[in-house]
Structure 1
Amino acid sequence: MSFPPPAANGSAAADLAAFMDPSWPWDTEWYASDSPIPPHLDGSPDVRFSGSVGYSGRVKTARGVILFSDLSMCWYSVTYGTGSVSRRARFRPCPEPMSAPALRRAAETHGAAVAAFAERAAASGRPVARGECWDVAHEALLHSASLFGPRDAPVLSTSRAHGHLLFCGKPGVGRWRGGDDRLRAGDIVEWRSVRIGVGMPGYGAFALLGDPDHTAVLVKDAVPRCAVADGQNVKPADVGLLTVIEQTAGRAPKRDSYDLAKLQQGEFWVYRPVGMVEYLGSTLSVDIPSGLETFAV
């Protein structure tokens, strides 16, 4: 699959930790800026960042935390100001799949809030936010965060990732992830350069989803035609019909359905909105939570 971007050290966070190692040469004092984000990540659509700069006399410490689209996280600091520069980084790798009970609870809380937001958006007859397809999912997750508070808020949209990856596939090939036995209302679908048949068989009609990317919110459960388990190969055709709410090009959100048995080309991913602290162990804070296991390269 083409997303998330490949990582040299197993996760994007581990790659950043390697960049922070003293053996890695830096050719600029990027850490001395007011927003101390490494230059190769500045402006990247694949990260969410928070940072700060602290002072103690002539000594300054730049600190940052970055959440990547593979949901790995890296905390780092650079201390400077007295002639020498010291670096430190700790990271969390990509999170493991969640159990069936945890995924069902997430669907009953964040998933329900996301699906209800999408249904109201479709009923309103007005575009959400800027009118981009991604905005429906992003604003729905923000709405869920407002309901549950900072400690229970969901993972917000990070590039094209929207929580716990449940399923990814392309024509004839797919893989299930996590303990749930179905996709559920409130899950978020990402399409990439997809062509999928629509209408009656034999007429040759099709829809194009993604230029290259397109986002939609599932508003009806989809129960696979076969038994599924974490890590199992599952064909998209066996997942069946996805009923979604989506918006395009500034138009109001609308309901549509796509039969994955008619998938002709492209890729897609399905995410479950889940609590950030529950799944990743931390908020987007420069302070590593006490007791959270982190690693160095």
Structure 2
Amino acid sequence: MPSFADIKAKATSVANSGVEKARRVKDNNTSVAMKKTNWDPYSGQPPPPPPPLRSASQTQAKPEPKFLPPPSRTGSNSSGTSLPTRGSASPGSAPPLPSRTSSQGTPPPLPSRSNSMTAAPPLPSRKAEPIARISAVARPLGPPPPVARSTRPDFEPSEPSTQSRAVHSRADAKEIDWANLSQEDKEVFFSWLDEFFSKHLNITVGPRTAPQKPFGSKGAVSSFSAPPPLNVTSKPTSWARTTGPGNPAPSNLIITSYPPSVKGDSAAADLAQYFSPSTRWEGSQWYNTPGALPPPVAGSNHIRTVSSWQSRGSTKTTSVGVLFSDLSVLWGSVTFNMTNPGDQSKITRQAWYLPRPEPQDLAVLADANETYGDTIAQFAESFLGAGTYCARGECWDLANEALKYFDQYDYIPKPVPSISRTHGHLIYEGKATKKGKEMGGYALLGDPDHTAVIVSDGPPIPAATKPPHGEPGASIPPSDLGRLTVVEQSVGQPPVRKDYSLHGLEEGEIWIYRPIALETYLGISDLTPTPPENHPRIRQV
């Protein structure tokens, strides 16, 4: 029986023979890549001899290459931690790390936003073509760049540029003498402006029959200069807007877009005709529905309504009161049989309406200002700096909530509520239609309209107090109203105080209202479903 030493020796010899066999196979099968030799297997020459066998005694560790340290960054005043270099027994000095502190060197200057005339370096020329120069800085305000239109007489079109501030695209483009343009050039240039702004602002520009000033921005207030005085607006003497063959509009009166136009003398008079027995009601039983709103005004944003009903047996009477944005009022009632509410032969209709109110004199308006003016201004100013919105945050909410604020004081007469753009007694309306002549920035207010609370005003321009503007009933353009200080808000912007100079108004419409009591202005204390008794101005259909 073999001993333990024999077994161990045998196992060791087997292991050594396996290792030796594996090394021999590796050495015998070592070859050099063909691309690293000069032997061509197709030349017929014998292959080069194999490399000598490697043994354990001849194998030496390849020394690790010693890399030179990277070049140091001279000129830096900051220091960093030294790192040892690879392949070196002793630590070497590493390049200093850049400092995050301020360097003693002066940083390169930032590009200036001033009106510098310095041009950027010219682009490399291509063959014999002239060099195109593109300015990278803002130029002083001046005439617009040349318009590339082939219809302009004696004008050579230029190549389009990718830079918004490109000044020239061709060196041989003709310079335009803006001070000495011919009448034909002006007409063509203005027609281009009309075409551009009519598409940009979605408005219609009529044909030009005489030289006009350049087209301005809709609802815009110029930040550089005001437009020339306007004489196309009106300060109304009443709410009446009915025009026709027998009642033409004055030549100097421009009808604004609000309140909505009507067929009769008021919106209430138009709706009263709907209650006339001659008007057929077909397919609609609105009087037998919750809310009871006549179809002609259903869905309108220019009304406030209130309704009620009462029944006795099978007979039911529905009453409705409607206050319109022109401050005319309608009261209507419908009596019908509930067993057959659609039977028109058994329906009784009645309607009363109150025409538009007459304008009040100076004493009444001054008294209304004493009652409501300061409280409304303080209500609006109470939101300044609070970071919160008034109601929903809409601009209209600020005026509406200010008028509703008086509901908690029963000893103060109820003011005229906010109805669309109406917020009381109309004391001014104006419309600017002429276009400004100055180039520059602009501001748009209203999409499509904007409401603000006036908290302060400046003196009007002296021209507004002189004849013919200073005479009673004369037209005063908005540009003569001077400066207004308002408190306003919008979705995304809490209430803020802003100043607006109406001297720069180029296009748009303005309505200014004085809060006033319903009782004083309309002769009613509140809107009710039934008309008040013994009102001298109520008319029945």
Asked if TM exceeds 0.5, the reply is yes
SS of 1:144's partner is helix
Matched, 1:133 2:388: no
Shift of 1:202: 6.5
Aligned equivalent of 1:63: 319
SS of 2:506's partner is strand
Q: Judge conservation of contact 2:454–2:485 (CA < 8 Å) in 1.
A: yes
TM-score (structure 2 length as normaliser): 0.48
Give me the whole-angstrom Cα distance separating, in 2, the residues matched to 1:223 and 1:161.
24
Q: Which runs of 5+ in 1 are unaligned?
A: 174-194
Matched, 1:17 2:272: yes
Matched, 1:263 2:505: yes
Identity of counterpart residues, as a percentage?
42
Q: Judge conservation of contact 1:130–1:250 (CA < 8 Å) in 2.
A: no
Q: Judge conservation of contact 1:126–1:251 (CA < 8 Å) in 2.
A: no
Question: In the alignment, which of 50, 74, 77 is matched to residue 333 of structure 2?
Answer: 77
Give me the whole-angstrom Cα distance separating, in 2, the residues matched to 1:85 and 1:36.
15
Counterpart of 1:165, as a letter, is L
Aligned equivalent of 1:189: none
Q: Higher relative CO (CA 8 A, sep ≥ 6), structure 1 or 2?
A: 1
* Pair 1:52–1:98, CA change in 2 (3 A): same
After TM superposition, the structure 1 = structure 2 runs for residues 1-297 of structure 1, keeping only pairs within 5 Å, are: 1-27=256-282, 28-81=284-337, 83=343, 84-149=346-411, 152-171=413-432, 204-225=440-461, 226-227=464-465, 228=470, 231-282=473-524, 283-293=526-536, 294-297=538-541
Counterpart of 2:371, as a letter, is T
| Most deviating of 250-259 and 3-12 | 250-259
Aligned equivalent of 2:154: none
Counterpart of 1:171, as a letter, is A
Give me the whole-angstrom Cα distance separating, in 2, the residues matched to 1:119 and 1:222.
18
Deviation string for 1:21-57 (max 9, x for gaps)? 1111112111111211102212211000000011111
Counterpart of 2:440, as a letter, is G
Aligned equivalent of 2:116: none
Q: Judge conservation of contact 2:271–2:296 (CA < 8 Å) in 1.
A: no
Counterpart of 2:307, as a letter, is G
| The structure with more radius of gyration | 2
Give me the whole-angstrom Cα distance separating, in 2, the residues matched to 1:34 and 1:223.
51
Cα RMSD (Å)? 2.1
Q: Which runs of 5+ in 2 are unaligned?
A: 1-255
Deviation string for 1:158-194 (max 9, x for gaps)? 1111011111112169xxxxxxxxxxxxxxxxxxxxx
* Pair 1:79–1:223, CA change in 2 (3 A): farther
SS of 1:207's partner is coil
Shift of 1:281: 1.2
SS of 1:264's partner is coil
Give me the whole-angstrom Cα distance separating, in 1, the residues matched to 2:539 and 2:513.
26
| Most deviating of 86-95 and 119-128 | 119-128
Shift of 1:238: 1.7
* Pair 1:148–1:274, CA change in 2 (3 A): farther
Give me the whole-angstrom Cα distance separating, in 1, the residues matched to 2:305 and 2:500.
35
Shift of 1:58: 1.1
Counterpart of 1:274, as a letter, is I
Q: Judge conservation of contact 1:169–1:235 (CA < 8 Å) in 2.
A: yes
Shift of 1:229: 6.2
TM-score (structure 1 length as normaliser): 0.85
Counterpart of 2:392, as a letter, is R
Deviation string for 1:227-275 (max 9, x for gaps)? 4566321111221111111112232111111111111111111111111
Deviation string for 1:144-166 (max 9, x for gaps)? 333355x7111110111101111
| Most deviating of 40-49 and 59-68 | 40-49
Shift of 1:222: 4.3
